[in-house]
Amino acid sequence: MKLFHQIACIALGMLFPALSQAQSYTLWYTKPAEKWTDALPVGNGRIGGMVFGGVTLDRIQFNEETLWTGEPRDPNHKGAAEYLPQIRQLLAEGKQKQADALAEAHFMGLKSNEGRREQWTADMLAGKGIAGNPASPEYDDSRWKTMPVPTYDGWESVGLEGLDGAVWLRTTVTIPADWQNKPVVLDLNRIRDYDRTFVNGKLVGTSETQEPRKYVIPAGVLVAGKNVLAIQVLNYFDKGGVAGYKDTSRHIALYPEGKTAADGVPLNGNWRYFIQNDEPPAVGKYQADYQPFGDLYLRFPDLTNATDYRRELLLGEAVSQTRLTANGVRYTREYFVSQPDQVLVVRLTADKPGSLRFSATLGSPHKKSSVRRIDDRTLALAVQVRNGALRGESFLRVETQRGTATVSGDSLAVNGADAVTLYLSAATNYVSYNDVSGNPVALCQQTMAGLSGKTFAQIRQRHVQEYQPYYKTFSVQLGSPSAQADRLPTNERLARFGTTNDPSFMALYMQYGRYLLISSSRPGTRPANLQGIWNDLLTPPWGSKYTTNINVEMNYWPAEVLNLSAMHDPLFGMIKELSVAGRETAQTHYRARGWVLHHNTDLWRGTVPINAANHGIWVTGAGWLSTHLWEHYRFTQDKTFLQQTAYPIMKEASRFFVDFLVKDPKTGWLISTPSNSPENGGLVAGPTMDHQIIRTLFRYTMAAGETLNTDAAFCDTLRTKITQLAPNQIGRFGQLQEWLEDKDDTTNKHRHVSHLWGVHPGNDITWETTPDVMKAARQSLIYRGDEGTGWSLAWKINFWARFRDGEHAQKMVRMLLRPVSGAGGSYLNLFDAHPPFQIDGNFGGAAGMAEMLIQSQNKTIDLLPALPSALSEGSVNGIRARGGFELDYAWKNGQVTRLTVKSLAGQSCTLKVNGKEIKLTTQPGKTYRVL
């Protein structure tokens, strides 16, 4: 078309209301949080807090992004490359088990140093640290505490967070008289890690394997009536104790040999326990764990029988609030984390003077922690991670309006105040991934000094003014404004979403995803990890690390399209550091130039293969992360970023694969070997996902080189390699093959659908360029099924959106936004559930909803490409498209009714709107009204 009928350039503000006037979405509840996944998250990218909003006891659990276990070290396995040819040969010969064993022995990265386990174990077995013989029936255990047994998720799950070591467990059990002369089975199932099990003082079994414990008690050991069971458990790391059966309907039990537990005496119940020693030797680990920092507890003795309770999170202001009435007084608490002032703030007010009376304490799950008084207004918490280099400090300062505040010992008390403000700082000695020389005390002192002369109102205003320019770049309205369900608490909307029409709940979820990204990934901080910035466990799931075979990338899928480009910056900072660390791994493990990254990294920027060869040797992490650099350029058209940051890293990632790829002896194609298709099928040669990533990386690197008019010879090399690289293949079931061989199992429902990477987030497979392969990819997804963990459901939303099947995408949205179960879903605070909590599903889900509304991975900007009937009406302002465009549009009955396009860089664009193509020539900074 011609210049769209000579479209006029009109200022955005003249067309539509300002984005600041858009709906301010809120999560809200009518009762306090009972569990951590009920609490509401606040954060500034560096400090994160989880607000419980309790009535008489309020808890704010907090984190600081650089508190991790571990220390700077070299994890590269010297000499690993010597074994690479043999591993490749074994895989080429179909000898997967042998290749896996060889790689496990000689190719994996190095763990951290082990402690002296043998001596510690001998001391524990000899009774060091405990008086008397706890196995004896006469032993007095009346002063011991009790815990429920079994504890499938470890004794950490019953209030003993951080406990590892030697623990004695005792209980009594009554048996029938006719059992005492029969052999009896003691069925305990799993115990972690080592046990010595006694019955009436007799040792009946011991093991240090992961095999189930079924000990046969010889005839004559048991007596009619009461018997004493005693177990000494040695747990070296995480989830210790008697785990029992994962199926909780199956009890640990005593029963006659030849019978079953149903015929016996169940042993589930409260057992007495005593911690003999909680300082086991260090366990070697491949990578570090993200750590909680501490807890702020507020105790309100006067607030019993509270009414009119409301707990909420205001996404538009990044402020959480708790409001309640007690004794005729209306109390309000506000919580936020300020980026300008680098403090977590709690503001307490009451509508009657002198009504505030409470105490505040600091605590931490770290064994090596202590609280001290700094001055008459300030407490301090000091923590030291176990077996690591990092330590932290947190200062808590109180400011009161009237009333009194006193600091005594480890507690702060307020009486008779009209208003109170608490300021919490946190810092560690981390400087960089190879420098731990920082001074956290000085940093906290500096932070508190920076508050001098500022009122609470000024600090709150500074917080909001810094936050809102990020948040208000985008607004979304789904469904009719008159049909909003905001009057219902968020937990009720979640419970009803699968069976009721509540499109605005999707809009809330999109904005919540944006809020979480802003709160966990501000410019200048570390990137959002597996749980963003929020974690309450010393041994969090998967270490709360950066899993690079999907999860950390998914965290940043919404960054560009949902107008949070600046939040991408922390990821780019990590990629720069990984590109340095990954050079050594590329050389040591592959004798290759460039840089490589495997399936996980941490604060210390590990790049080696970890955990196990069958999933840890996956070579395309650097390639995938490098595509984020090019995507940022595509959305922003920032040529300075491309030249100075993106292209050098992309080029070196490509250089690695130029050296790494080898010719497959059967097909003659260049293939990636050894590797795996995450995390499915084990160690293989030539997984499809690798080739899609490598091909896409080469294309992007060539495009970047051509844009910058540089490295023509290197680009020619990449162009040649692309023609030789193994292509996508369609298998015998009409599916896209996951591997080089046609061996897909159509009954496999694995949560990873890695071989569809070329559909999303890549563009290696599209309806326009490869329709047959696109159909095969869709068939693969049909075989794989709809169910999955939270992040897997989120990825499937994006897949179905790229397949332009809005109804199926909407089905996946409903599955993601359902109350948590063993098959994913969402917790009450809308955190994504793997389960357990992983934040990638929040980000991937928000991005998938955007993919339903706009796609620009090809040469056109396609509006409403996968719109389901449930979203037949709506509007969006500030959504971004590749090529440097920002769009505002509305639709009704599935048809776009108004549209403006702002050009950031003056590129030409082709729009696909209501089934028609519209071509637009633009100038930088101009806004064009299209409809």
CA 887 – CA 908 distance, rounded (Å): 14
pLDDT of residue 842: 98
Tell me where in the chain the CATH 2.60.120.260 domain(s) lie: 117-277
CA 358 – CA 300 distance, rounded (Å): 5
CA 237 – CA 281 distance, rounded (Å): 9
CATH topology of domain 117-277: Jelly Rolls (2.60.120)
pLDDT-based confidence at 181, cuts 50/70/90?
confident
Sort strands 909-913 and 861-863 into parallel, antiparallel or unpaired.
Answer: parallel
The whole-model pTM stands at: 0.95
Q: Which residues have C-beta within 8 Å of that of residue 508, sequence separation ≥ 6?
A: 25, 27, 315, 490
DSSP 375-404: ETTEEEEEEE-TTBS-EEEEEEEEEEESSE
pLDDT-based confidence at 804, cuts 50/70/90?
very high
pLDDT, tens only, 588-628 = 999 999 999 999 999 999 999 999 999 999 999 999 999 99
Question: By three-state DSSP, how is residue 191 classified?
Answer: strand
pLDDT of residue 434: 96
Sort strands 404-408 and 391-401 into parallel, antiparallel or unpaired.
Answer: unpaired
CA 537 – CA 364 distance, rounded (Å): 11
Q: Which two tokens stand for residue 657?
A: 């694969």
Select from 232, 229, 272, 252 the least CA-distant residue to 152. Answer: 252
Tell me where in the chain the CATH 2.70.98.50 domain(s) lie: 25-70+287-471
- Angle of helix 806-816 relative to helix 790-802, nearest 10 degrees? 170
pLDDT, tens only, 511-564 = 999 999 999 999 999 999 999 999 999 999 999 999 999 999 999 999 999 999
Select from 516, 36, 525, 57 the least CA-distant residue to 313. Answer: 516
Quick check: 289 and 540 in contact, CB under 8 A?
A: yes
94 alpha-carbon distance from chain centroid: 36
Q: Which two tokens stand for residue 206?
A: 């011991």
CA 509 – CA 511 distance, rounded (Å): 5
CA 768 – CA 791 distance, rounded (Å): 28
CA 837 – CA 833 distance, rounded (Å): 5
CA 311 – CA 304 distance, rounded (Å): 17
pLDDT, tens only, 706-729 = 999 999 999 999 999 999 999 999
Quick check: 659 and 721 in contact, CB under 8 A?
A: no
The domain defined by 25-70+287-471 carries CATH number 2.70.98.50 = yes
Strand segments, DSSP code E, in 614-671 are: 662-663, 670-671
pLDDT, tens only, 439-474 = 999 999 999 999 999 999 999 999 999 999 999 999
Q: Which two tokens stand for residue 86?
A: 């043999």
Quick check: 27 and 39 in contact, CB under 8 A?
A: no
What is the mean predicted confidence (pLDDT) over 911-920?
97
Q: Which residues have C-beta within 8 Å of that of residue 300, sequence separation ≥ 6?
A: 55, 56, 57, 58, 357, 358
pLDDT of residue 750: 85
Q: Which residues have C-beta within 8 Å of that of residue 297, sequence separation ≥ 6?
A: 57, 58, 59, 360, 361, 362, 363
pLDDT, tens only, 393-438 = 999 999 999 999 999 989 999 999 999 999 999 999 999 999 999 9
Sort strands 895-903 and 927-929 into parallel, antiparallel or unpaired.
Answer: antiparallel
Q: Which residues have C-beta within 8 Å of that of residue 393, sequence separation ≥ 6?
A: 380, 381, 382, 383, 426, 427, 428, 440, 441, 443, 444
pLDDT of residue 748: 87
